[in-house]
């Protein structure tokens, strides 16, 4: 009886999840940390001994730390654009009727049924120099030469926004659905205008969903590989593209691991700062 009671305790129930986290999260990160400190070697992934030279190179060479900053900037801009589009859409879906709401949610989720490669190539057909957008504008006489909509940061942001928009809408929609309609009704009964109700009642209560969606989109955008490679045409070198190239093509495991960890640490610091800032802003 004692043994059976010990096996059914809450702590024992957590062990499978904890084991998965240790095996698939903690151990790989520890391996990357150790690998980032190894010395480089010719013809081998790494040599004997340990060094901080990889991190010093990333922090002192403008080519690498600017790539990290560029990747973070793309993540921030993508998060802002998806929030600007996702919040109104989530509000509209939340206010729709039951049948229409199900249809709208299905439409939001429908892009996830198509692979990222297919969606990115679809954008190249639309935004290319001879694509539908530029061809239409030229036929209407609005432009003389094609607009640079592809193979730059603008093209990457458009592609990332389209790919990750559902990941912004769903957390916000979940937070909106958890708000009691009586709260907004009480605010309106006290004379608050619709925009005041949104700013003082709906938005603060939906902030957990906004925070979750923003962090999720930011992490996915920073770590994205396929969309920047296709929409940027390999001309915009993000830290993610560099890491894959260094690890696979150049066979420099310590430097690639250091670059990946540098990006992860920078992204984690930005997420921490965002969490503190939003919590302080809306809890006053």
pLDDT at 191: 85
Q: pLDDT band at 181, cuts 50/70/90?
A: confident
270 part of a folded domain: yes
229 part of a folded domain: yes
pLDDT at 8: 55
Best CA proximity match to 82, nearest among 161, 160, 167, 172: 161
**CATH number of the domain enclosing 179:** 1.10.3720.10
Q: What is the mean pLDDT of the chain?
A: 89
The pLDDT of 69-75, averaged and rounded, is 96
pLDDT at 6: 53
Q: How many domains does the chain have?
A: 1
Q: pLDDT band at 133, cuts 50/70/90?
A: very high
pLDDT at 1: 46
219 part of a folded domain: yes
The pLDDT of 28-36, averaged and rounded, is 92
Sign of CA dihedral 30, 244, 156, 230: negative
7 part of a folded domain: no
pLDDT at 190: 83
pLDDT in tens, 233-282: 878 899 999 999 999 888 899 999 999 999 999 999 999 999 888 874 54
Best CA proximity match to 216, nearest among 254, 175, 244, 184: 175
pLDDT in tens, 9-26: 677 778 888 889 999 888
Q: Considering only 30-39, 191-200, 220-229, which range has the smallest mean pLDDT? A: 191-200
The answer to whether 200 and 192 are in contact (CB under 8 A) is yes
Give the separation between CA 258 and CA 264, rounded to whole angstroms. Answer: 10
Domain membership of residue 165 as a residue range: 62-282
Q: What is the DSSP string of 250-282?
A: S--HHHHHHHHHHHHHHHHHHHHHHHHHHHHHH
Q: Considering the entire predicted model, what is its pTM?
A: 0.89
How many helices (H) and strands (E) are present in the chain, helices listed first? 15, 0
Judge whether residue 283 has pLDDT over 50. Answer: no
Give the separation between CA 69 and CA 134, rounded to whole angstroms. Answer: 31
15 part of a folded domain: no
242 part of a folded domain: yes
144 part of a folded domain: yes
262 part of a folded domain: yes
């Amino acid at each position: 009886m004692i043994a059976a009671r010990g096996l059914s305790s809450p702590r024992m129930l957590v062990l499978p999840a904890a084991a998965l986290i240790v095996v698939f999260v903690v151990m790989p990160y520890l391996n990357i940390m150790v690998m980032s400190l190894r010395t480089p070697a010719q013809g081998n992934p790494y040599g004997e001994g340990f060094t901080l030279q990889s991190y010093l190179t990333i922090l002192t060479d403008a080519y690498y730390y600017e790539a990290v900053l560029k990747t973070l900037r793309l993540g921030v801009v993508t998060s802002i654009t998806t929030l600007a589009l996702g919040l109104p859409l989530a509000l509209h879906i939340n206010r729709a009727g039951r049948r229409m709401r199900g249809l709208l949610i299905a439409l939001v989720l429908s892009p996830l049924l198509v692979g990222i490669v297919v969606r990115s190539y679809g954008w190249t057909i639309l935004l290319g120099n001879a694509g539908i957008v530029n061809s239409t504008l030229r036929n209407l006489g609005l432009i003389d030469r094609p607009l640079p909509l592809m193979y730059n940061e603008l093209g990457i942001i458009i592609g990332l926004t389209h790919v990750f928009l559902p990941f912004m809408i769903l957390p916000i929609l979940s937070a909106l659905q958890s708000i009691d309609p009586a709260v907004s009704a009480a605010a309106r009964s006290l004379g608050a205008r619709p925009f005041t109700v949104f700013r003082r009642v709906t938005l603060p209560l939906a902030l957990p969903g906004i925070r979750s969606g923003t962090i999720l989109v930011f992490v996915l955008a920073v770590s994205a590989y396929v969309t920047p490679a296709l929409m940027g045409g390999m001309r915009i070198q993000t830290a993610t593209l560099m890491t894959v190239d260094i690890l696979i093509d150049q066979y420099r495991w310590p430097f690639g691991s250091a670059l990946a960890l540098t990006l992860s640490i920078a992204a984690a610091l930005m997420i921490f700062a965002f969490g503190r800032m939003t919590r302080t802003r809306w809890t006053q």
